[in-house]
Structure 1
């Protein structure tokens, strides 16, 4: 298949759908390319030579529809678009699998850069890097300020018992990929369960909020938050804990895990917490628990990748080093919880 006709994207059928549903939107033959990045769903850039759009669909050959729910992603973006939260303009949702072989949605193409590594941030310099990361905090505050009921998302999740369910869910994920001794991981899981904090009022939670899941424009402002596949209604401090975790320096040479925290000018985790607290008005005294939970969750995700690597089920470079990172994440989780 040519680069202009990537797998999973039938441009003729897509054009036919757009002409029916949004007549006049497309004014020429469509070309498309796969955009790298994203946790699991496939993202394509599509153009007619003047206009540009983005198509999101589940992976090829997927079987777990709930894990790649296009309707949920489209719904949350549609609900947030009229608010101060920067998201792309949704164009349409298609649940008819005869078009591309799976449900998908189309949204506007947004200019901007997802910064994945400290090396990518380096050309910005310390001040612009600092501004971009603090903008990330401020945008998270904007997201958590949205009243779910006011934007039609009152039933977008089940906030009651959210943390307990999350902890049990990730414990089950760990059990599903156990094939070696991991010192401290059961201790970390049990300690998190014993010290479960009381959640504040529920908000829309992104679920994977970090610098490389937003697009930053030339003015260093966030143009759009992307990758809403893990979004729900729940405890907003889980987003903060994850952001704090990603803002912690990992002194790991040649790590396959991307991190921007070592970039010159990147604010320390403590400043990120203080800024969020000041701007949101939320009590962040339990942030150590949420950060430790983020370390646990990432340890489980990495162990799952390592497990698939040992079974010969991964494709690409770097997977051979994932396994050695898991104990580092467990140790950070235990230390964070003890210090809290």
Structure 2
């Protein structure tokens, strides 16, 4: 029976002798949770875990897109679409998009994720030519004036190809490299870092009736298999971000199960990206219908993720997240 090992992260200033760094970052651990399908979880000392498993959990993550994974990074969201769930239509004009990138970089975003196809629940398909027309000119204009790294949020190899040519650095695929068989080989050939996300179903249908045997372990197994696929193509493990896909084919209960044990995904040996900003479950829990009013809840979830060692936060509310993160780090460390 497969065994899963989750470091139980701590950020307390009082660190016991023998505690281990979590992914070379700011959190530490001295105990782990051992999980098996259909069995009660067990908490055991980290000293009882095999060296190879511990090595993958503790190994420092290298730079991705020029960003240091030893500190939390903020990925600002830029949707150049008319129909995204939170900001659809606000930034799809090139001038507005460029101004928004400039603002987010000043507010603390260290990378910008640009997408031309809405992946909100119920969203339809966007033609390749249209998606390229929405994204490539904006990326070219932004990279001509700014050094902030750009991520292209797409499932499609032709869109990624034009985005990389325009100056994008990272490829972020919400389908986990399952939708277009040419995308992962292109990323490998281009030497581009990638983000592989889990989603159950297509955006048009993913929230109809999502179900899992064990959502935490099912998502882990999917990401584990996709990381193996990507490394087999020649993409280094250290250049692969993993994203559990909060809200993509998940119920409220599924999202909370993943968020409460996010640190399991450090066992993949990859940096973790968390994209929960303004998602429906935040509105449900906080009784906040309008997505644009979900900033406080989004920041709370982001900080909970950082407490579990998440290296990258994908957010709409950059200034508020950056301020909260600065204060969280100062309070946690007990110094400026």
TM-score, normalised with respect to structure 1: 0.30
Q: Decide which structure has the larger Cα Rg and report it.
A: 1
TM-score, normalised with respect to structure 2: 0.30
